[in-house]
Chain A
Amino acid sequence: MAARERFDHEIGAIQSELLRLSNLSINALETSFNAFINKDLEKGREIIEQDAVINRLEEEINDRVILVMTRQQPVAKDLRRLVVLLKAAADMERVGDYAVNIAKETIRIGNERFITSVELLEDMCYKTTEMLREVVQAFVDENTSKAKEIAEYDDQIDEMYGNIISHLMRLSAVAPESIAQITYLSFICRYIERCADLATNIAEYLFYLKKGQRYDLNQ
């Protein structure tokens, strides 16, 4: 295999690893949230344990990227591609961490009855996981218009976040005895909002890869 082919082949392999990491992390987020809704504490503990797999996969991607950089000394778009793969892997690994954080809050809430409807939160999480799935696909397909479109949904997630937090704050005034659960719910809401920000990051990496300039899609 010629050097250039070997390079392209290795990039393809790293991209597949990133897709695998993304799927694991997004599934973990979804499963963790379902465990929260269903108060499935056992599932929550599983999510915490399985995070090691996600962490290891990110480390593998890092090692492979560093090896390609060392051996091939890429420049221009080739170099940017490796840098954004590294950054996207770090962000997707972070999604896995947020899944773990949600699982920990779930365990803290335990079998306590929810003091408020979590429907809005459910909607927010569903939309965020969709955003993540689609942005990773757009990243791999190098589809910037799709990536920009997805990043724009972050505004809606931010709005939902604001509404939920306001609601929880009002609730804390009338139900001070439930302050612990209100805090846990606020944290979960925050974790999901952060995941949507990470989806925006992935979209920005794609713009950087294609254009060689940094773009702020999160205005």
Chain B
Amino acid sequence: MVELMNKTNNKETVKIIKTPTQLVGETTQAVEKNSVFNTKNFNLWYGDHHALKDINLDIKENDVTAIIGPSGCGKSTYIKALNRMVELVPIVKTNGEINYRGRNILEASYEVEELRTRVGMVFQKPNPFPKSIYDNIAYGPRIHGIKNKKILDEIVEKSLRGAAIWDEVKDRLHQNAYGLSGGQQQRICIARCLAIEPDVILMDEPTSALDPISTLKVEELVQELKDNYSIIIVTHNMQQAARISDKTAFFLNGEVVEFDQTDKIFSTPKDQRTEDYISGRFG
């Protein structure tokens, strides 16, 4: 072919046109958001097992941050460290820093109760209390000393509306929450979390026990909640991470392999291990 065309080879650099991802990246970077959780050189051990290694992650407010990775990579351990729930396991040791709104939560003087009021959590399996729907939601505010019936009613309605389940349960607020479907129970748990007006909501595989329609409802809810809350969600469902998150962190063997805009992670990840994982080559 070269001989055929008899042309001097033009070695000019190939012109690269910017991808939409780059353009999006540039505009979002223009408005720098505040940090909610800034983790610096954080390590965690279960006895001798080094479960989280030198984690550095800066999670911004009003972002949905997805944490993905194969089983045992440390992603659930990491989010349980963010409200210090992980300490309930007696053999846990940690070092490094997890700064919540600028203050290191690992400091001995840090009020764990205060932290857990600011940082709510929703678990994999819906875990309502064996009480009425109303009492499930009013539980947290009552613990915080709210006794006024009118105020409690308002909180219950606001929280259930916020969790997009008010219309489904408003006529049976005093029935046991166990009578609801799994998807409804999970939204009750989200409402219970909203009732204490947290700043951050941690979600540990919140839809893995739900059917597709309930999953979609929870995903839509996450999108609505991000205007007022910062959400950190651990998920095994990569399509879910791609659909709902702004940023994604990929964990592998206790390390953060890559943390970037979700658009970037799912289109042009930097690390081959990320590409292999999201493409289903391992895990």
Instruction: Name B15's contact: one of A4, A127, A216 (CB within 8 Å).
Output: A216
Interface flags, A145-157, vs B, CB<8A=1, else 0: 0001110110110
Of all chain A residues, the one with the shortest Cβ separation from B280 is A4
List B contacts of A12 (CB < 8 A): none
CB pair B9 A152 closer than 8 Å: yes
CB pair B5 A75 closer than 8 Å: no
Q: A74-B279, A152-B9, A153-B5 are in contact. Are A219 and B266 (CB under 8 A)?
A: no
CB pair A75 B267 closer than 8 Å: yes
Q: Which of B2, B4, B12, B280: most chain A CB closer than 10 A?
A: B280
List B contacts of A156 (CB < 8 A): 5, 7
Instruction: Name A134's contact: one of B1, B19, B278, B279 (CB within 8 Å).
Output: B1
List B contacts of A130 (CB < 8 A): 1, 4
B38 → chain A closest CB, angstroms? 28
Chain A: residues with Cβ within 8 Å of the partner, total of 31
Q: Report the Cα distance A217→B17, complex, angstroms.
A: 10
Q: Report the Cα distance A85→B10, complex, angstroms.
A: 28
CB pair B17 A213 closer than 8 Å: yes
CB pair A153 B19 closer than 8 Å: no
Of all chain B residues, the one with the shortest Cβ separation from A131 is B1
A207 within 8 A of B: yes
Task: Name B247-283 residues within 8 Å CB distance of A.
Answer: 266-269, 275, 278-281
Q: Report the Cα distance A210→B34, complex, angstroms.
A: 35
A212 within 8 A of B: yes
A26 → chain B closest CB, angstroms? 14
List A contacts of B19 (CB < 8 A): 212-214
B238 within 8 A of A: yes
Interface flags, A188-219, vs B, CB<8A=1, else 0: 00000000000000000001000011111101
List B contacts of A3 (CB < 8 A): 280
CB pair A76 B279 closer than 8 Å: yes
B15 → chain A closest CB, angstroms? 5
Interface flags, B1-34, vs A, CB<8A=1, else 0: 1101101011010111111001000000000000
Task: Name A41-77 residues within 8 Å CB distance of B.
Answer: 72-77
The count of A-to-B residue pairs whose CB atoms sit within 8 angstroms is 71
B180 within 8 A of A: no
Q: Report the Cα distance A63→B92, complex, angstroms.
A: 53
Q: Report the Cα distance A77→B1, complex, angstroms.
A: 30
CB pair A77 B275 closer than 8 Å: yes
Of all chain B residues, the one with the shortest Cβ separation from A135 is B1
List B contacts of A215 (CB < 8 A): 14-17
A8 → chain B closest CB, angstroms? 10
B23 → chain A closest CB, angstroms? 12
Instruction: Name B238's contact: one of A75, A134, A152 (CB within 8 Å).
Output: A75
Instruction: Name A148's contact: one of B14, B266, B267, B279 (CB within 8 Å).
Output: B14
CB pair B275 A152 closer than 8 Å: no
Of all chain A residues, the one with the shortest Cβ separation from B274 is A76
B263 → chain A closest CB, angstroms? 11
A7 → chain B closest CB, angstroms? 8
B109 within 8 A of A: no
Q: A130-B4, A153-B7 are in contact. Are A214 and B278 (CB under 8 A)?
A: no
B282 → chain A closest CB, angstroms? 9
Of all chain B residues, the one with the shortest Cβ separation from A79 is B267
Q: Report the Cα distance A4→B15, complex, angstroms.
A: 34
Q: Report the Cα distance A214→B12, complex, angstroms.
A: 16
Q: Report the Cα distance A114→B111, complex, angstroms.
A: 94
Instruction: Name A76's contact: one of B12, B15, B18, B267 (CB within 8 Å).
Output: B267
Of all chain B residues, the one with the shortest Cβ separation from A152 is B10
Task: Name A131-184 residues within 8 Å CB distance of B.
Answer: 131, 134, 148-150, 152-153, 155-156
Q: Report the Cα distance A131→B7, complex, angstroms.
A: 14
Q: A76-B275, A127-B5, A155-B10 are in contact. Are A214 and B16 (CB under 8 A)?
A: yes
B148 within 8 A of A: no
A78 within 8 A of B: yes
Q: List 24 A-B contacts (CB under 8 A).
A: A3-B280, A72-B280, A73-B239, A75-B267, A76-B268, A76-B269, A76-B275, A76-B278, A78-B279, A80-B267, A130-B4, A149-B9, A153-B5, A155-B10, A156-B7, A207-B14, A212-B267, A212-B268, A213-B22, A214-B18, A214-B19, A216-B14, A219-B12, A219-B15
The 8 A-B pairs of least Cβ separation, nearest first, read: A212-B268, A214-B17, A75-B266, A216-B15, A153-B5, A75-B278, A152-B10, A78-B279
